[in-house]
Structure 1
Amino acid sequence: MRAKLEQRSFLFMLMLVTLLFGIVLEPFWGAIFWSCAISVIFYPLQQRLSSKLGNRPNTASLLTLLASVVIVVLPVLLIAASFVQEGVAFYQRIDRGEISPARFLEEIRIAFPLLPELLERFGVDLENIRQKLAEAAVAASRLLAQKTLTAGQSTLSFIVNVVLMLYLTFFLLRDGHHLTELLVKALPLGDERERMLFRKFSEVIRATVKGNILVAMVQGALGGFIFWLLDIPSPLLWGVVMAFLSLIPAVGAGLVWLPVAIYLYAKGDWIAASILMTYGALVIGLADNVLRPLLVGRDTKLPDYVVLFSTLGGISLMGINGFVIGPLIAALFMVFWGIFMREFNFTPDRPE
């Protein structure tokens, strides 16, 4: 009796201390998650370097970390800085009245006179939409101005998180295999199941991060190029916006180039509008329809609709990190249920 009480008390304290430790690390969850993701992606490179350098794990891990900084971290930082600069300039033009979303909507209404009547049949008030767009533009400008005032604190926090992420990545690259073995020993799920779960974790992280980021880069570059070619203002800004939106499967970049093409039709620029519409559907859309299933769906072994819903749900709940965490949770959900059906959900013999 005493032994059971001691065991239960210990397990309770173990869960309590683990929960408290998780709360202590809460401000750094993003840095820890991306450190794990980068470590998983670049671990094969670290293994190759280790085999070539011999028994020098610190050197191999440091070289791998430098490669990850050059390939991933620096390009993301440069794109983010350019996006902020272009975004500030764009919203300043909105604030000065040089760009008016309400005026754009009015031009579309004039160009397509049947549109208001069609929208009214579906209960959509075009005048209300125009007013909401104007209010949203002003609110966005005001919000950006407030964010600019606190940019110093945000920048310092961001730099601290990046440094901590890189610091932890070095140790995960060097000691990741040993940490995995410790987790296998510590978790009471069965070694074979735990190794299967860790393999699935690595597969999904590699597929979603590499696949989604590659698709985002391709679609953003293609979108920014056609906007620059057609002399549409702020092509870099819209290219980065399309890259971020392309993290949403199926619809992503079309949320940018399709309304712009409609607006060009409304202005009477039929050639540019037709070029953008054709290019968006065939070229930008092709990157999503071909690359994403190959890079994400095939490696994660998830159906396209599961990838779509888990990505949207992950982003809505966890922000930008959700485009990886959502499909990861979906993949682990399917693995757990697969194990359950294979090992536990047996059918008893029926009496004849």
Structure 2
Amino acid sequence: MPKPNREPDMQKVIEIRSFIAALIAVSIAFTYLMLPFFSVILWACIIALLFHPLHAKLLDRYPRHENIAALVTLLACVLIAVTPALFLASSFIKQGTAIYQQLESGQLKPALWIDQIRQAFPVIDELLRTLGFDVAEVKQQLGSLSVEAGKVMASNALLIGQNTLGWLVSLGLMLYLTFFMLRDGARLIPILIRALPLGDERERLLMQKFAEVTRATIKGSLVVAMAQGSLGGLIFWLLDLPGPVLWGVVMTVLSLIPVVGASLIWLPVGLYLLATGNTSDGIILIAFGAIVIGLVDNILRPILVGRDTKLPDYLVLLSTLGGFTMFGMTGFVLGPLIAVLFITFWEIFSREFNVILDGDAMHDDKSADDRDVSSPPL
């Protein structure tokens, strides 16, 4: 018999492999090309996801005006989110610059504040000695750390002011992309599901998790952090403390970190007020921070997030800190998102793999039963 001709099959295999290799190479090149705009694209997707319900309602009412619905939604986004952010950024830059100049001129002396707190609270020295710490060395390190932290914060404010043009360009690109994400997002999802090779059901589940965790993180972390920072800035303003907007923004950023949060600011300032004789202001600030600012997270987070998509507290802390370390400010979204996707992938794998194992075990048990029934007794 003549041997079958396998050259067409081999040619097809070579073509498929070559195409896949080219596809991977082009995808890597495109990813590298888009890498400088990673934050812009990410935040455009997040904003489109958050404002999608408003866009959907407008489309239901005016189904033939997709562009107008997307434009109106984008204007609402600018009024609700972008305009207040620009105002806060401007105030942050001004107050950060003022603090930077005071640190440089020596008007602000963090080491003196530490001495005043130690003198007013001798128990701190006793506690440090009991734990085996050198008080003088701790004072020097805390003073140096305070100065460096203040300089970094203030110099970053100056850097933001100097890079205003680049920041505005990024903002414009983000809003431009957000418009198309709002208008075309519903059509892009089926295309992604069809193109990705993970299985349609798995891809739908992963996209659903992405949407849930993104909404939960923004509402449960950013909104809570903004509430805590606003309350912190308000009490600083009422007590006539310097830089209320600056410290409110700093408390907002720190509130993104679970457990400690804004207390890293209001607690030392409250202790300093007590140490310098401003007893009433110190008591008010510490009480307000512990009762009002501290309870905002416990009250708002369950309402805004719910229990279904909430990660364990320890995983939220670790993923948020890891996200900050790897991705900067966008890490407070990416960190928990990566953690949830990690858990979801392993849940899918465990569920489907266990089903296969269970099926094999049932098949083996059934075969064994069949052998027992069919085998004659010894």
- Band the TM-score falls in, shorter-chain normalisation: over 0.9
Q: Would you say 1:50 and 2:64 are equivalent positions? A: no
Cα deviation 1:304-330 (Å, max 9, x = unaligned): 332222112111211110111111111
Equivalent in the alignment of 1:272: 281
Aligned residue for 1:55, secondary structure, equals coil
Q: Aligned residue for 1:107?
A: 116
Q: 1:285 is matched with which residue?
A: 294
**Distance change >3 Å, CA 142–CA 260, structure 1 → 2:** closer
* Partner SS, residue 344 of structure 1: helix
**Residues 1:313 and 2:322 are matched in the alignment:** yes
Supply the distance in 2 between the matched residues of 1:323 and 1:314 (Cα, whole angstroms).
Answer: 6
Residues 249, 288 of structure 1: 8 Å contact kept:
no
What is the match of residue 15 of structure 1? 24
In the TM superposition, what is the alpha-carbon distance from 1:126 to its structure 2 partner? 3.0
| Residue in structure 2 matched with residue 166 of structure 1 by the alignment | 175
RMSD of the TM alignment (CA)? 2.1
**Distance in 2 of aligned mates of 1:329 and 1:228:** 38
Residues 40-64 of structure 1 show CA distances to partners (whole Å, capped at 9, x for unaligned) of: 1111111111111221101100111
In structure 1, the residue matched to 2:219 is 210
* Equivalent residues in 2 for 1:1-352, closer than 5 Å: 1-136=10-145, 139=148, 154-296=163-305, 298=307, 300-346=309-355, 347=358, 348-349=361-362, 351=365
Q: Which runs of 5+ in 2 are unaligned?
A: 1-9, 369-378
For 1:146 and 1:71, the matched residues in 2 are separated by 28
Amino acid of the structure 2 residue aligned with 1:184: I
Amino acid at match of 1:58: N
Q: Which amino acid aligns with 1:181?
A: P
2: CA distance, partners of 1:27 / 1:126? 46
Residues in 1 aligned to 2:159 and 2:231: alpha-carbon distance in whole angstroms: 33
What is the distance in 1 between the residues matched to 2:267 and 2:130? 23
SS of equivalent to 1:189:
coil
Report Cα offsets for 1:131-175 as digits up to 9, x if no partner. 334444555676578667765762221111111111111111000
Q: Secondary structure at the match of 2:282?
A: helix
Distance 1:230 1:295 in 2: 30
For 1:114 and 1:281, locate their aligned partners in 2 and report how far apart those are by CA, in whole Å: 21
- Count of residues in correspondence between the two structures: 352
Q: Deviations over 1:73-95 (max 9, x none)?
A: 12112112211111111222222
Q: Report the more deviating stretch, 221-230 or 174-183.
A: 221-230
Distance between the aligned counterparts of 2:161 and 2:269, measured in 1? 34
- Provide the TM-score with structure 1 as the length reference: 0.93
Secondary structure of the structure 2 residue equivalent to 1:300 = coil
Q: Which amino acid aligns with 1:29?
A: F
Q: What amino acid sits opposite 1:194 in the alignment?
A: E
Structure 1 residues 47 and 226 mapped into 2: Cα distance closer, same or farther (>3 Å)?
same
CA offsets per residue over residues 105-137 of structure 1, 9 Å max, x none?
A: 111121123432321332333323333344445
Scaled by the length of structure 2, what TM-score is found? 0.87
State the one-letter code of the partner of 1:237. L
Distance across 1 between alignment mates of 2:160 and 2:199:
48
Q: Distance in 1 between matches of 2:278 and 2:155?
A: 37
Which protein has the larger Cα radius of gyration, Structure 1 or Structure 2? 2
Whole-angstrom distance in 1 between the partners of 2:120 and 2:199: 66
Q: Distance in 1 between matches of 2:149 and 2:233?
A: 22
CA separation in 1, counterparts of 2:287 and 2:114? 22
Offset at 1:223?
0.9
CA distance in 1, matches of 2:161, 2:128: 45
Gaps of 5+ in 1: none
Q: Evaluate the alpha carbon distance shift between residue 144 and residue 323 of structure 1 in structure 2; reply closer, same or farther with a 3 A threshold.
A: closer
Report runs of 4+ in structure 1 exceeding 6 Å deviation. Answer: none
Measured against aligned partners, the alpha-carbon deviations of 1:169-223 in whole angstroms (never above 9, x if no partner) come to: 1111000011111100000111111111111111111111122221112111111
Does the 8 Å contact 2:100/2:151 carry over to 1?
Answer: no
> Percent of aligned positions with the same letter in both sequences?
52
